[in-house]
Amino acid sequence: MINIAIIGLGHIAPRVAKGIKCAKNANLYCVASRDINKAKDFKDKYNATVFYDDYQDVYNDTNVDLVYLCTPNHLHYDQIMDCLNNGKNVMCEKPMVSSIEEANELFDYAKSKNLFLMEAEKTVFTDMHLELKEYLKEIGNIYSIRADYSYNISKLDYPKDHWVFDEKYGGCLKDIGVYPICFCNSIANSKVKNVVGSKFINNNYDCDFGAIGIIEYENGIKATIECSWFYDSINRGYAVIFGDKGKIYVPMYWKEDSFTIIYNDNTKNVIKISQESDFEGEIEEASNQIMNNKIESPKMNKEKTIEIMKVIKYLIND
């Protein structure tokens, strides 16, 4: 059993806590927030063992096996380094860091310390996604993938100086663009060969407001990805995988529990998956790898994190 500490108790943390509770090999041992009252309330609500208001106390606690960082993007690099320097395995919410150079540095440092490090890209670990990959053969040879995730950020009433709008650490591509990119990379199961596209710009902000891109993979599969903060997509987003024998439609592919196979003769097969938490899979994976003395997951390792970041970098700098 892996004892997990959650650092940062914002809107993602409750879903992470549920995922830990659902995972067979993980225990919610510790929660931490700069706000001691928030930490205590969270600990009581989700039945953690201890709570802290100083992150160094988490690093010093010898019972902590794995730290899950749910903090704002601009804090990730320093906090990952703090964890590694204190001998802690790390999962970090996407985007893990702001540049390929930082990712290389952190993964290499984790390796030198024989510690586990993984970007928390839950999309590729859900039961639905794993089942989906088993059904890809139903539609024959895959030609293309289409994936979208968009929402109107103005509805959230963020102040203009909120970190999500930071040019380096924020932006739509790093907020939600990672979802369609990660999904397409996983389904294509090939390295990125080329990227073309164009980003959305809001002249009132320095960061990107999304992009439309076409990814070409080394195996010949093409993917079209779209993300935007200007408008709401259908159900916030969806994906379609096209093959020579049919297509697969996936609503809310980053967390949904069903998908539909549509064959060329228009017959359909709806596949439903029982899934308690969309965070359960990634937590079980990390815990298993740590228990087996591994420092990376083959499903989301250094190479896969950097492949996602390459696409983001191109589209931001289009």
At residue 171, the 3 state secondary structure works out as coil
Label residue 127 by pLDDT band (50, 70, 90): very high
279 φ/ψ angles, rounded to the nearest 5 degrees: -100, -10
> pLDDT tens digit string along 20-62?
999 999 999 999 999 999 999 999 999 999 999 999 999 999 9
pLDDT band at 234 (very low <50, low <70, confident <90, very high): confident
pLDDT digits (tens, 9 = 90+) for 75-90: 999 999 999 999 999 9
Architecture, CATH, for domain 2-121+279-296: 3-Layer(aba) Sandwich (3.40)
Q: What is the pLDDT of residue 45?
A: 98
Average pLDDT, the chain: 97
Whether the per-residue pLDDT at 158 is higher than 90: the answer is yes
Percent of the chain whose pLDDT exceeds 70: 100
Is 127-274 the same fold as 2-121+279-296?
Answer: no
Report whether pLDDT(271) > 90.
Answer: yes
pLDDT in tens, 128-143: 999 999 999 999 999 9
Residues 6+ away with beta carbon under 8 Å from 302: 103, 104, 107, 296
Domain boundaries, the chain: 2-121+279-296, 127-274
For residue 54, what pLDDT is reported? 98
Q: What is the pLDDT of residue 21?
A: 98
Q: Is cis: bond before 298, omega within 30 of 0?
A: no
The stretch 107-115 carries a mean pLDDT of: 99
Give yes or no for residue 188 having a pLDDT over 80: yes
pLDDT in tens, 28-38: 999 999 999 99
**Band (235; pLDDT cuts 50, 70, 90):** confident
Mean of the pLDDT values across residues 219-238?
Answer: 96
Judge whether residue 318 has pLDDT over 80: no
Which pairs count as long-range contacts for 199-203, CB under 8 Å and 24+ apart, including other chains?
Answer: 199/173, 199/315, 199/316, 199/318, 200/172, 200/228, 200/229, 200/230, 202/229, 202/230
pLDDT at 256 over 90: no
Cα–Cα distance, 116 to 90 (Å, whole number): 6
Taking residues 228-254, what's their average pLDDT? 96
Query: Residue 275: its pLDDT value, please?
Result: 86
**Nearest by Cα to 99 from 312, 315, 318:** 312
- Per-residue pLDDT band at 213 (split at 50, 70, 90): very high
CATH (residue range 127-274): 3.30.360.10
User: pTM to 2 decimals?
Assistant: 0.96
